[in-house]
Amino acid sequence: MTRTVVESKTKSAIIGFDEPFCVIGERINPTGRKILAEELERDDFSRVEADAIAQAAAGANILDVNSGAVFSNKMAEDPRYADNNFVEPTLMRQLVEVVQRVVDIPLCIDSSVPGALENGLAAAEGRPLLNSVTGEEERLELVLPLVKKYNVPVVAISNDDTGISEDPDVRFNVAKKIVERAADFGIPAYDIVVDPLVMPIGAMATAGHQVFTLVRRLREELGVNTTCGASNISFGLPNRHGINNAFLPMAMGAGMTSAIMNPIALPVNQAKIAEHKALIMAAGIILPEDIDDETFVTLFGLGSTKATPGKEMEAIRAANFLYDRDPNGTDWIKFNKVAPKAGQEGRGRAGRVGGRRRG
C-alpha cells in the first residue's frame, strides 16, 4: 500500500491508505495575514512560534511553512523587496529554523519561489514534504530536480499551463502527467501527494461529488496519496465549520489521505468577551464579580480563551475510529478525556484520593 514518509529530526509522519488521516497545519502562512506579515517584516517571529506550538498541541502531524510575505515598508525603501525571489529565500530559511527550535514535527516547505524551496529544504532537518509542483512545464523543470536532489516527497497540484480546469477528467490527466514526468527523474509514485484542487461548493454545486470521484481515481488508477486545502470547499458560505466537518470524513471515505488545514480553534478575544458580557447584563442576568474569562466563555458556549483543537479535528478523529485506523479507539478516548480541575489531579470519580473504597 502507498506510504509517503515525512520526517523531522526524530519524528515521522506517514501519509498512507491504511494510516490515520494526516493533518498538515496551515497557520504559518503570511499570505492574507496582514499582522503576521508586518511582524515578519520587523523580524518578529513570536507569532510563528506560538502558531507552531499550538498546531502541534492540537494534533497536526506536519506543519506547512509558507514564506509568501509582502514587506510593504521595506519595499518603499528598497525596490528589491517588491520581488518575492529576493524576499522569500531568506525568509523561508528563517521560518524553518524558528519552527524547528520550538517543535520537533515534520515540515512542509511551501513556496512558489524555487530559491525559497531550496533554502527550506537545506535548512530542514529530516525529510520534509515539498509544496509544490504543478503540471506547468517550467515548474516541472524547476521543482522535480529539487525533489530528486533532496530525496523528498512532493505535493502535485492538478493545474497546468492552461490553468485550473473545472473538468475533473482534465485535472486527473494533469496529475497523471506529473506522476509520469516524476518517474522520468526516478521519483516514485509513493513520494507524490496529489492535490486534485477542491472547488468551492458555493460556486459549483458538484464540487464535493467531483473531488470524491477524482480522489477514488487517483488512488485506484495512479496509486498516489492525496491532499487538499480543506477549507476551500466551504469558501463564501455561512457556518463553514459545519461544511468542513461533513466534507473531511466523506473525503476520507473516498480515499483522501491528508489535508492542509487549520487544526486549532482560535481563542476567544477580549472584544468578543466584553460584547457578550454587555449583552448578558443588558438582559438582566447578573454575573458573579469574580467569574474568570475562561469560565465565562465555557459557560456561554463561546469556545475558549486558549487555542484548542478545532471541530474539524474532532470529525477527523471520529472518522479515524470509524474506519478502524484508531486501534481500540485510543486516540478518540484521549482526545475527549476531560482534563481534571485544578487540585483534583489523581483523585477518583467521587473526588477521593485513591478512588473506590474497599471493604
| pLDDT tens digits along 12-24 | 999 999 999 999 9
- 93-102, 160-169, 265-274, 347-356 — which is least confidently predicted? 347-356
- 45-49, 291-295, 352-356 — which is least confidently predicted? 352-356
Average pLDDT (137-147) is 97
> Could you tell me which residues come within 8 angstroms of residue 295 by beta carbon, excluding any fewer than 6 positions away?
none
User: What is the DSSP track for 96-119?
Assistant: HHHHHHH----EEEE-S-HHHHHH
Question: Which of 121-135, 257-271, 290-304, 341-355 ranks highest by mean pLDDT?
Answer: 121-135
Residue 83: strand, helix, or coil: coil
Task: Give tens-digit pLDDT for 303-342.
Answer: 888 889 999 999 999 999 999 999 999 999 999 886 554 4
Task: Tell whether the model's pLDDT for residue 349 goes beyond 50.
Answer: no
Residue 297's pLDDT band (cuts 50, 70, 90): confident
> Could you tell me which residues come within 8 angstroms of residue 326 by beta carbon, excluding any fewer than 6 positions away?
20, 317, 320, 332
The residue among 92, 94, 65 whose CA lies nearest residue 6 is 65
- 40-49, 114-123, 271-280, 345-354 — which is least confidently predicted? 345-354
Average pLDDT (76-94) is 95
Name residue, grid cell 517550467.
Answer: 138
User: What is the DSSP track for 209-257?
Assistant: HHHHHHHHHIIIII--EE--BGGGGGTT-SSHHHHHHHHHHHHHHHT--
Average per-residue pLDDT in the chain? 92
